[in-house]
């Protein structure tokens, strides 16, 4: 066993012990959202709080690899360049000069936005809970000293454009299980020192009634919706653009989606066992964009639009200049927009802060939603 594998095993054992202690202190049961938070974010031990490489094109065993999954900015710099056109328009329309990026990952998107927008950005603030990712971001963004800043929490007031790519899906979710017609909250317990699922009868319900009486597992997104409400409370002027995989409510809680959407990612492979190898893989859930939209509206934000990633990026000029692109570059762009890749599963939702000192959103017609807006489907 190598020194690295010994260290990794030790970290996983320490994380397992931390989760076991939390379960014991909670009288033998914690909600799945609490488990997911511990698995991903326990300082120094959780998946996002450890030093493992997470973002990249290649899995372990491939030269230059070692990553678990790839996000759009790693696929092509054209992703960030297209998004920059929308961010530029929003900065101008809201008379702001700061970008706030949540969960900046490898820093690739930040670099693409900074290079595309240049002096239009006076300050770029990254909010990220991972110390190891912050080090990677700092190394990549070294050419922008004084402009890039890091924060672990939000200030009381913010101004600017907020960007979040694959942030909502990593926020802990509550699991609900309809079993024999009775709704339960699914949590995590211990059986002979092994993590196992355990259900408790609950008053919690999905936001839509799920047709039928068959057994049904699903998620509710209280933390993601709370995150949007917090942004609404703090954002004094500006706009928000969130990109992630998910569905509107009527698709999310479709009767046939009976196994839920929780998924794990490691080495560019997916599996559905969140309780196995905790700390060594990502745990995610698809986003209910209707719930996100309603949370924003109820908190005072204006919904700018909602559409597929493909339509949003094309509206923002993704395909411009593709005649000069190499075959490899074209292949990566196809991954961003093809329906069977990221183009349809990934969606984009935009919000604007309601502030009397800046023009209302309908006076500047956001570029990314100019064609193919699906807000009516939420």
From first to last of its 378 residues, what are the pLDDT tens digits of the chain? 444 444 456 678 999 999 999 999 999 999 999 999 999 999 989 998 876 655 555 455 444 445 666 899 999 999 999 999 999 999 999 999 999 999 998 899 999 999 999 999 999 999 987 667 888 899 999 999 899 999 988 899 999 999 999 999 999 999 999 999 999 999 999 999 899 999 999 999 999 999 999 999 999 999 999 999 999 999 999 999 999 999 999 999 999 999 999 999 887 788 989 999 999 999 999 999 999 999 999 999 999 999 999 999 999 999 998 988 999 999 999 999 999 999 999 999 999 998 655 555 557 899 999 999 999 999
CB of 174 within 8 A of CB of 31? Answer: yes
Residue for token digits 């859930």?
Answer: 285
pTM above 0.95, yes or no: no
DSSP H or E stretch at residue 138: helix 131-140
Nearest partner of 352 among 307, 308, 304, judged by Cα: 304
- What are the boundaries of each domain within the chain? 3-174+217-377
d(CA 114, CA 73): 13
Nearest partner of 306 among 219, 231, 244, judged by Cα: 244
DSSP H or E stretch at residue 16: helix 3-25
CB of 94 within 8 A of CB of 301? Answer: no
Q: Which two tokens stand for residue 190?
A: 């211990």
d(CA 163, CA 171): 16
Q: Within a 10 A sphere around the Cβ of 265, how many other Cβ atoms? A: 18
Protein fold of 3-174+217-377: Rossmann fold (3.40.50)
d(CA 39, CA 67): 18
Q: Check the CA dihedral 185-187-192-195 and report its sign.
A: positive
């Amino acid at each position: 066993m190598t020194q690295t594998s010994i260290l990794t095993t030790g970290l996983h054992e320490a994380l397992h012990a931390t989760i076991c202690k939390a379960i014991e202190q909670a009288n033998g049961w914690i909600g799945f959202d609490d488990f997911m938070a511990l698995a991903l974010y326990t300082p120094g031990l959780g998946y996002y709080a450890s030093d493992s490489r997470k973002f990249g094109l290649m899995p372990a065993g491939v030269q230059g690899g070692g990553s678990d999954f790839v996000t759009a900015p790693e696929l092509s710099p054209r992703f960030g360049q297209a998004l920059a056109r929308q961010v530029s328009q929003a900065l101008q329309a809201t008379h702001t000069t700061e970008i706030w990026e949540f969960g900046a990952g490898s820093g690739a998107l930040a670099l693409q936005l900074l290079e595309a927008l240049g002096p239009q950005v006076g300050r770029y603030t990254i909010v990220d809970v991972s110390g190891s990712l912050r080090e990677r971001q700092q190394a990549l963004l070294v050419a922008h000293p004084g402009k890039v800043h890091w924060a672990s929490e939000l200030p009381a007031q913010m101004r600017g454009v907020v960007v979040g790519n694959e942030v909502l899906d990593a926020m802990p979710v509550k699991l609900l299980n309809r079993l024999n017609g009775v709704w339960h909250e699914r949590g995590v317990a211990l059986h002979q020192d092994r993590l196992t699922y355990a259900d408790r009868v609950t008053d919690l319900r999905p936001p839509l009634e799920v047709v039928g009486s068959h057994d049904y597992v699903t998620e509710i997104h209280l933390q993601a919706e709370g995150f949007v409400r917090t942004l609404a409370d703090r954002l004094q002027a500006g706009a928000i653009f969130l990109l992630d995989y998910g569905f509107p409510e009527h698709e999310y809680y479709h009767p046939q989606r009976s196994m839920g959407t929780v998924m794990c990612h490691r080495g560019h492979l997916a599996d559905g066992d969140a309780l196995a190898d905790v700390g060594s893989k990502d745990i995610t859930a698809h986003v209910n964009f209707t719930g996100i939209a309603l949370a924003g509206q109820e908190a005072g934000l204006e919904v700018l639009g909602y559409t597929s990633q493909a339509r949003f990026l094309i509206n923002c000029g993704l395909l411009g200049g593709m005649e000069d692109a190499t075959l490899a570059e074209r292949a990566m762009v196809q991954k961003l927009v093809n329906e069977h890749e990221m183009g349809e599963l990934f969606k984009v939702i935009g919000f604007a802060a309601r502030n009397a000192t800046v023009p209302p959103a309908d006076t500047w017609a956001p570029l990314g939603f100019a064609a193919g807006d699906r807000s009516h489907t939420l």
